[in-house]
């Protein structure tokens, strides 16, 4: 038997003020997207904004459904749109903001496992890391330099 220890690295910023202007404006796009989320069942709004290599910003938000599993998270709404519109484009950065309509969401909210798997697919496809910034509605911001840091032991095409 051998024990394997997996380490990961995240950077935590006290607030958006510590980040470069380009990232602040990307996060502001995520805020705007969050406001437009369709989340009548959970009241938990999430917005995501992607900076593409052509300079374009693509946004997405969570879309819920009375048949709960038919809904989709903000991150996948954005990333699938990017994949469909720019099949050869690369995603440079991703900003995510989540906020409950019922509570204060002031700590970084990481993307769910299914979204991490979806983001991994595109990072592998483009063969370049995606910088991921995530936060609540206010407060600290977490940064991962690549999806790899958020999903050790990723399931990828190499096992197929």
Cβ closest to ligand THU, residue 22 vs residue 110: 110
Cβ closest to ligand THU, residue 54 vs residue 147: 147
Binding site for ligand THU (CB under 6 A): 39, 42, 44, 46, 62, 64, 71, 73-75, 111-112, 115
- Minimum Å gap between C-beta 44 and ligand THU is 4
3-state SS track over the chain:
CCCCCCCCCCEEECCHHHCCHHHHHHHHHHHHHHHCCECCCCCEEEEEEEEECCCCEEEEECECCCCHHHCECHHHHHHHHHHHHCCCCCEEEEEEEEEECCCCCCCCCCCCHHHHHHHHHHHHHHCCCCEEEEECCCCCEEEECCHHHCCCCCCCHHHC
- Minimum Å gap between C-beta 92 and ligand THU is 20
Q: Say which residues have a Cβ less than 8 Å from residue 13's Cβ, sequence separation at least 6.
A: 19, 140, 141, 142, 143
Q: Catalytic pick from 14, 56, 64, 75?
A: 75
Q: Catalytic: 123?
A: no
Q: Which residues pair with 61 in a beta bridge?
A: 47
- Minimum Å gap between C-beta 113 and ligand THU is 8
Cβ closest to ligand THU, residue 77 vs residue 90: 77
- Minimum Å gap between C-beta 88 and ligand THU is 26
Cβ closest to ligand THU, residue 25 vs residue 42: 42
Active-site residues, by number, are 75
């Amino acid at each position: 038997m051998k024990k394997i220890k997996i380490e990961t690295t995240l950077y935590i910023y006290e607030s958006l003020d510590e980040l470069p202007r380009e990232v602040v404006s990307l996060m502001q796009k995520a805020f705007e997207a969050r406001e437009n989320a369709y989340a009548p069942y959970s009241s938990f709004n999430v917005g995501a904004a992607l900076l593409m290599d052509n300079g374009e910003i693509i946004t997405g938000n969570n879309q819920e459904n009375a048949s709960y599993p038919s809904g989709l998270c903000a991150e996948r709404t954005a990333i699938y749109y990017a994949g469909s519109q720019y099949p050869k484009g690369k995603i440079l950065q991703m900003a995510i903001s989540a906020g409950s309509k019922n509570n204060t969401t002031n700590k970084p909210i990481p993307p769910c496992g299914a979204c991490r798997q979806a983001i991994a697919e595109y990072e592998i496809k483009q063969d370049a890391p995606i910088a991921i910034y995530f936060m609540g509605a206010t407060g600290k911001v977490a940064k991962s330099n690549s999806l790899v840091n958020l999903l050790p032991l990723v399931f990828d095409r190499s096992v197929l």
